[in-house]
């Protein structure tokens, strides 16, 4: 699934090696119920049921 747009990046101020640097955790989510309807919900239910990832699902 794509956000549908190209994002222009800006020059790095700290040009370093290829890296991933974690900084902070995502804020605590809130639990809500999703509507059990539509093709994308069914795909979500299927992924949970079979423990599949998004990428496995797309294939």
d(CA 36, CA 45): 9
Residue 50 near another protein by CB under 8 A:
no
Q: Which of 48, 50, 51, 59 binds another protein (CB under 8 A)?
A: 48
Residue 40 near another protein by CB under 8 A:
yes
- The answer to whether the CB of 24 falls within 8 A of the CB of 34 is no
In whole angstroms, the minimum distance from the beta carbon of 59 to another protein comes to 14
In whole angstroms, the minimum distance from the beta carbon of 58 to another protein comes to 10
d(CA 59, CA 41): 17
């Amino acid at each position: 699934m794509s956000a549908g747009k190209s994002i222009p990046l800006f020059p790095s101020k700290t040009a370093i090696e290829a890296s991933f640097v974690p900084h902070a955790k995502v804020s605590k989510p809130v639990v809500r119920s999703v509507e059990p309807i539509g093709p994308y919900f069914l795909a979500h239910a299927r992924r949970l049921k079979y423990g599949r990832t998004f990428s496995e699902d797309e294939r």
